[in-house]
Amino acid sequence: MKWYQYVYYNYGNCYLPWWTMVTYYPSNLPKDPINEGNWTVYAYQQDHESVININFPAENWSFEQMNALPLNAPFPAYKALGNRTAPVILTQLVGDAVGVTYFDGIIYVPSDANELYAINAYTGKLIWEATTANSVMSNPIVVNTSRGPIVYVSVGDAGFSASHSIFAVITGNYKNVVRGYSYGAVYAFNATNGQLLWVHFDDGNVMPTPAYIDGLLIYGDGSGHIVALNATTGQVVWRDYVGVSAFDSMSSTNYYVFPNGTTIAIMGFTLALPPYGELIAVNVQNGQIVWEFALPKGFTPFNTGMGDVSPAVDEEKGIVVQSTIVNFNKTNETVGFAVFALNATNGHLLWIEQLVRGYVPPAFKGGVPTIYNGVVYVGTPVANELFALNETNGKILWVAQIPNVQGPPNGAGGGRANPVYVNGYIIEPAGAYIDVYNASNGQLVKSYYVGGRFGIVNAVVVGSTVFVDNSYNWVFAIPLNELIS
């Protein structure tokens, strides 16, 4: 098989700390791909409904990435680390933490093993792969530009260095709390052949997924900045400082377009000091803050919650929905799980509900909500439950227990990714299963065994096929009718 390999040691005048090796198999490109617009935001749509309604066949394949584990293997280092830490380290440092992207007949797969894969969506064959300087925990963004289709991925990690960590607290100097132990960066590759176009390094992690808006890539980083890059060149267009001790962990940028065309970018930040967390909306043209939202009295965000979850946006109704863990009880070490909705125009609170109390999830501190047809669907790793809420007032329509979540009550949580609505069903991967619920009453319809473990992985439905990846470094194409009939 004919293939090409490129090794990039630098870009412009700047050397890469890890070179980027791209291996390209042109003969594996899709023959007549069906394109359906740009993938500009985490989980495809502003409302996090990851469904592409095109005429795509029912495919069935699996792709084993580098370092893939047998699907029935126990977590590596399980004995040394236990069932709370072993799966977290695997997901945050080796396997795929978040879901895949579809664009133009290609599935882009982000791997924490410092890899990005481009795979033929029809055949499961590798088109190209590229190495990066840190874990790819972002959902790849793919956009047609004047330079052709470009795939953007951000890289970063969830660690802290000693100087930004406990010693910052001991010395009382919170000024420099930065999330991200190793390099944070954004990479731009030619989406078809993997050619490296540019790299932008950042201070702190770039774990969250940037949003592509009006030619800019916009994201929050681990150093308390909101950054806008020119998507064509990688140059910084503007860069805001949110404030001391603020960082965006995994809160991928969403956006809302005002009726007059003004667009705001919205994302969550964790603050190490009161109010401990904020949702921030900035004007995409100049970075000016349009509104900031902190939780009301009675709801104190805990841990990385507010900086973890990507808010969902209902463009039509002008509503933003997010979740976070709140109100840590030091005595029994439990937390509450809150979901709230804001007016997208001014950030005013529409409703907030504390739905359950439970244990502190071991990593991602919330559930990514989806808004579909007036209903908010959101899982919670605090209690391994899935909720359907009235979008207008937050009242519970139904609640379902997520089955088969690995580990005992304090084990790794289920229900972290955005639930996806398809034909009257909700699809939500959790643990080693893809679970399917009746969307109208929450009844569990099917638990489809895959094996391994799902991170914050949502299903991506393209026509008649569902695509998922997992923490064991696999990618799967599953015919939709195997999940719903």
For the record, the structure tokens of 403 come out as: 């089955």
Chosen residue from 30, 33, 57, 76 binding its own copies by CB under 8 A: 76
x/- mask, its own copies, residues 392-431, rule CB under 8 A, reads ----------------------------------------
Residue of 93, 70, 90 lying closest to 80 (CA atoms): 90
β-strands 115-120, 474-479: how paired? Answer: unpaired
> Does 175 help bind its own copies (rule: CB under 8 A)?
no
Residue of 233, 238, 232, 199 lying closest to 219 (CA atoms): 238
Give the binding-site size for its own copies (rule: CB under 8 A).
Answer: 55
Instruction: Give the SS3 label for residue 390.
Output: strand
Cβ proximity to its own copies, 11 vs 398, nearer residue: 11
Q: Least distance in Å: CB of 462 to its own copies?
A: 30
- Residues linked to residue 216 through DSSP beta bridges, in sequence order: 213, 230
> Does 309 help bind its own copies (rule: CB under 8 A)?
no
Chosen residue from 65, 132, 304, 324 binding its own copies by CB under 8 A: 304
Instruction: Give the SS3 label for residue 169.
Output: helix
Dist. CA 351–CA 295, nearest whole Å: 11
> Does 332 help bind its own copies (rule: CB under 8 A)?
no
Q: Least distance in Å: CB of 381 to its own copies?
A: 14
**Number of neighbours of residue 334 by Cβ within 10 angstroms:** 17
Cβ proximity to its own copies, 74 vs 296, nearer residue: 74
Instruction: Pick the piece of the chain touching its own copies (CB under 8 A) from 52-60, 167-175, 383-391, 446-454.
Output: 167-175
Buried b (16+ CB within 10 A) or exposed e, 196-215: bbbbbebbbbbbbbbbbbee
> Does 43 help bind its own copies (rule: CB under 8 A)?
no
Instruction: Pick the piece of the chain touching its own copies (CB under 8 A) from 33-41, 164-172, 460-468, 474-482.
Output: 164-172
Q: Which residues contact 274 (CB under 8 A, 6 or more apart)?
A: none
Interacting residues with its own copies between 234 and 293 (CB under 8 A): 249, 272
Dist. CA 221–CA 203, nearest whole Å: 7
Cα–Cα distances in angstroms (integers) from residue 216 to residues 219, 241, 260, in the given order: 10, 18, 19
> Does 321 help bind its own copies (rule: CB under 8 A)?
no
Chosen residue from 152, 160, 387, 467 binding its own copies by CB under 8 A: 160
Buried b (16+ CB within 10 A) or exposed e, 399-414: ebebeebbbeeebbbb
Cβ proximity to its own copies, 71 vs 349, nearer residue: 71
Instruction: Please answer whether residues 379 and 415 qualify as being in contact, where contact means their C-beta atoms are separated by less than 8 angstroms.
Output: yes
Instruction: Pick the piece of the chain touching its own copies (CB under 8 A) from 12-20, 54-62, 315-323, 477-485.
Output: 12-20
Instruction: Pick the piece of the chain touching its own copies (CB under 8 A) from 64-72, 284-292, 383-391, 423-431.
Output: 64-72
Q: Which amino acid is at 148?
A: G
> Does 1 help bind its own copies (rule: CB under 8 A)?
no
Instruction: Please answer whether residues 404 and 433 qualify as being in contact, where contact means their C-beta atoms are separated by less than 8 angstroms.
Output: yes
Q: Least distance in Å: CB of 210 to its own copies?
A: 16
Sign of CA dihedral 446, 452, 458, 461: negative
Q: Least distance in Å: CB of 184 to its own copies?
A: 8
Chosen residue from 328, 351, 398, 448 binding its own copies by CB under 8 A: 328
> Does 326 help bind its own copies (rule: CB under 8 A)?
no
Chosen residue from 43, 90, 231, 466 binding its own copies by CB under 8 A: 90
Interacting residues with its own copies between 178 and 197 (CB under 8 A): 179, 181-183, 185
β-strands 51-52, 460-462: how paired? Answer: parallel
For the record, the structure tokens of 71 come out as: 């699907």
Dist. CA 63–CA 334, nearest whole Å: 39
Chosen residue from 27, 32, 146, 170 binding its own copies by CB under 8 A: 170
Chosen residue from 29, 43, 52, 88 binding its own copies by CB under 8 A: 88
Instruction: Pick the piece of the chain touching its own copies (CB under 8 A) from 137-145, 156-164, 430-438, 455-463.
Output: 156-164
Instruction: Give the SS3 label for residue 319.
Output: strand
Q: Least distance in Å: CB of 74 to its own copies?
A: 7
Residue of 105, 168, 93 lying closest to 137 (CA atoms): 93
Q: Which residues contact 294 (CB under 8 A, 6 or more apart)?
A: 275, 277, 278
> Does 356 help bind its own copies (rule: CB under 8 A)?
no
Cβ proximity to its own copies, 21 vs 356, nearer residue: 21
The CA angle 167-172-177, to the nearest 5 degrees, is 60
> Does 482 help bind its own copies (rule: CB under 8 A)?
no
Q: Which residue ranges make up the site for its own copies (CB under 8 A)?
A: 14-19, 67, 69-70, 73-74, 76-77, 79-81, 85, 88-90, 93-94, 113, 157-163, 165-173, 177, 179, 181-183, 185, 201-203, 249, 272, 303-304, 328, 330, 362
